[in-house]
Amino acid sequence: MKTVTFKNKNIDVSATIRFPKDFDENKTYAAIVCAHPISSCKEQTAGAIYGEKL
């Protein structure tokens, strides 16, 4: 798991990236994006609930 931050129109955005157990930097992988609702934070929604299983 890796946490990254970046700016989007002067707003700080944070994301958590989860990798497969056998992750290889030299391979390409499909991605699943789980976006949280505006009124909550990423740690309390799909990323925390489903992230480990995905």
pLDDT in tens, 7-26: 999 989 888 888 988 999 99
pTM of the predicted protein model? 0.54
Domain range for 14 is 2-50
pLDDT at 4: 92
Domain total in the chain: 1
Residue 50 in tokens: 């489903």
pLDDT at 13: 86
Cα(36)–Cα(45) distance, rounded to whole angstroms?
A: 6
